[in-house]
Structure 1
Amino acid sequence: MTTRPPPTPLQRAVLITGATGFVGRALVAELGGQGRHVIVLSRDPRRASATFGPGVWAVDTLAAVPADTRIDAVVNLAGARVLGLPWTAARRQVLLASRVGVTHQVVALIRRLAHQPQVLVSASAVGFYGAVNSDQPCTEASPPRPGEFQSDLCAAIEHEARCAEALGVRVVRLRLGVVLGREDGAYPMQALAARLGLGAVLGSGRQRAPWLHLQDAVGLISFALGNEGLAGAVNAVAPQTPTQAEFVQALAASFGRRVWLRMPAWPLRQLAGEMSSLLLDGQNAVPAAALAAGYEFRHPTLPSALADLAG
């Protein structure tokens, strides 16, 4: 199923998978404001068209995109939420299919297009580095941790994305930290808990908590689309990476509250299994590639980002 494409020619078009997600919606708005035509992949193209308006062409399968469509760039944000349901065998298959499977389909589309895109920006996560739990910085050159599901998942996504390099496409592998925004993602529930005085230090609290303001998530994607010198892995995180205890304390302080609660690690590990590593283990990820390429963060520090979000 597909909605009809816009009547104007699709020049400088950008294809976005995962466009109806948290980051995707903000990105569509940003690119639309730049005057760029947008094609979105959505399970419900009619709903997507109603959300984004007539200037967006929505499809529910990439097979619906004709080979002569002119697409200059692809942004791959597709994927079911990693944090939520326990990582049972069935859930892992869902996560792999929604991320690795869609990335494979994206590369297949690029292969059959008559005019190949110039760039593919494909999102994975700082979970690529696994449960590091060390103050040692994780740069884009740091290795994955085979055998840990979050690392294996990210490595599999990136492997599929890199297949586009053989087609002559510049590939940017965006390793996202926790994206903070008012409307969706982790922040609304965290902010509610902080307002109610229910913010808690998880485990030791010493695990690093890489984060990124939504404006910088969109800004980095837009920067990657336009910067021909940027390729390879890019840590999409703010320059300041606090510990989890520092993060929750700063979040509480943004509402004039303090943190009194502490959640021991063992109940979380018992209840959530390996998925608890997302909460109890972290990575001291640093945005070395983004800074070297000249990206200027709108919210480089946690207090400024939280003040913006709380306001």
Structure 2
Amino acid sequence: MSSTLLITGATGFIGRALVARHLREGGQVIALSRDAARAQQLLGQQVRMLSRLDDLPDSARIDACVHLAGARVLGPPWSAARRALLVQSRHGVAMALQALLKRLHERPKVLVAASAIGYYGNPALAPAAALDERGPPQPGQFQSDLCAGIERDALAAEGLGLRVVCLRLGVVLGQGGGAYPAQALAARLGLGAVLGSGQQALAWLHLDDAVGLVQHALATPALRGPVNAVAPEVCSQAEFTRALAASFGRRAWLRVPAAALRLSMGEMSELLLGGVPLAPAAALQSGYRFRYPQLEGALAALAAGAEPAPG
């Protein structure tokens, strides 16, 4: 019998790839979207669309839930209104999901929720070695508090008998969304730039492995709690920028001073200027095998499928 996934945030970058792969493998998808008509066009007629979880009957059969919903963190400045939106776009859907789980006659077995490496914040002292999932948060830093809240909401489902996995996603690289298309265009035009010192760690992950880790989390009963969804190879922001440029036969010679980023972006600049080395310890220990464990191979595969540079 094919499995049925309930996916929030199904029209997002990772969500679209997950839906496509699950359908290819013979599964069924129920997707939550604020604009169900648009989402239906985007995801296809095979997907059952919902604009509200309240529309699901108590008798609905759902094998697993994947919670990916949430406004994009890197965007407009983190004003009070923007912070409230970032929190509520995740918390509100999580609470609606909790309400659904409580009333279902038969509950799903597992919930996989998208957290982020922002959980670790920007510590005052750089760690001596790559952090595993036991690394501490940084209370008082917005990105860390946001991720801690996401995980707290998700882990509440354990009280309803679900196994919960919180994927702390790094920078996901793929075509058609996320940071890569704009970064690739800049690199092809010779405009790739080192940000600040460039020594800050940049934890990355190929889209294929982001989807693979979601599926691995769903299928691995022993896996629960936080999982660093990052590739095994650790690199700095400068190394990433130079490798990205090299994947298009270019060099990266520009540099953006940290002060300029802080002036223009405020605390949000820490997403670009901060970063600690992370290890995907839980993923590896549970038997996951990365398709793209090294940056060079991931960037080469992406460059091969990139759109031609304009002009």
Task: Give me the TM-score of the superposition, normalised by structure 1.
Answer: 0.95
Offset of residue 103 of structure 1 = 1.5
Match of 1:194 in 2: 187
1:71 alignment partner, SS class? coil
Q: 2:228 aligns with which of 235, 249, 254?
A: 235
- Asked if 1:308 corresponds to 2:286, the answer is no
RMSD of the alignment, in Å? 1.1
Structure 1 residue 143 corresponds to structure 2 residue 174 = no
Q: Decide whether the 8 Å contact of 1:12 with 1:70 is kept in 2.
A: no
After TM superposition, give the deviation of residue 11 of structure 1 in Å.
6.2
SS at match of 2:252: coil
Number of residue pairs aligned between Structure 1 and Structure 2:
302
Aligned residue for 2:241, secondary structure, equals helix
User: Per-residue CA shift, 1:217-274, capped at 9, x if unaligned?
Assistant: 0000011111111111000000012000000000000001111111110011011100
Deviation of the 1:104 alpha carbon: 1.9
Question: Retained in 1: the 8 A contact 2:11–2:43?
Answer: no
Q: Look up the equivalent residue of 1:43 and give its one-letter code.
A: R
Name 1:57's counterpart in structure 2.
Answer: 48
Residue 135 of structure 1: how far off its partner (Å): 5.0
- Measured after TM superposition, the shift of residue 55 of structure 1 is 1.6
Moved more, 127-136 or 221-230: 127-136
Partner residue, 2:59: 68
Counterpart check, 1:26 vs 2:17: yes
1:40 equivalent to 2:31? Answer yes
Q: Following the alignment from structure 2 to structure 1, what is the Cα–Cα distance between the partners of residues 234 and 77?
A: 26
Give the aligned partner of residue 97 of structure 2: 106
Percentage identity across paired residues of the two chains: 59
Q: Is the 8 A contact 2:228 2:279 kept in 1?
A: yes
In the alignment, structure 1 residue 251 sits paired with structure 2 residue 237? no
Deviation at residue 12 of structure 1 after TM alignment: 2.5
State yes or no: 1:128 paired with 2:119. Answer: yes
Q: What residue number does 2:80 align with?
A: 89
Report if the CA contact (8 A) 1:239-1:301 is conserved.
yes
User: Does 1:220 find its partner at 2:179?
Assistant: no
- Amino acid in structure 1 at the alignment position of 2:67: N
* Paired position in structure 1 for 2:309: none
CA contact (8 A) 2:132 2:279 kept: yes
Whether the 8 Å CA contact 1:11–1:71 is kept in 2: the answer is no
Unaligned runs of 5+ in 2: 305-311
Give distance in 2, aligned partners of 1:34 and 1:260: 44
2-structure distance, mates of 1:211, 1:189: 16
Instruction: Tell me whether 50-59 or 68-77 shows the greater mean CA deviation.
Output: 50-59
**Equivalent residue for 2:280?**
287
Alignment of 1:152 with 2:145, yes or no, is yes
Structure 1: where are the runs of 5+ without partners? Answer: 1-9
Partner in structure 1 of residue 307 of structure 2:
none
The 2-side partners of 1:288 and 1:107 are apart by 29
The residue matched to 2:96 in structure 1 has which SS?
helix
Alignment partner of 1:271: what SS? helix
1:77 equivalent in structure 2: 68
Runs of 4+ in 1 over 4 A off after TM superposition: none
Deviates more, 1:41-50 or 1:291-300: 41-50
Deviations 1:106-155 (A, max 9, x none): 12211111110100000010000001354531211111100000000000
Distance in 1, Cα, partners of 2:138 & 2:44: 43
The answer for the alignment partner of 1:6 in structure 2 is none
Report the TM-score when normalising by structure 2.
0.95
Q: Is the 8 A contact 1:104 1:161 kept in 2?
A: no
Between 1:134-143 and 1:11-20, the stretch displaced more is: 134-143
2:150 partner letter: I
Q: Which amino acid aligns with 1:95?
A: L
In 2, the alpha carbon distance for the partners of 1:134 and 1:191 equals 30
- Alignment of 1:269 with 2:262, yes or no, is yes
Contact 1:125-1:174 at 8 Å conserved across structures: yes
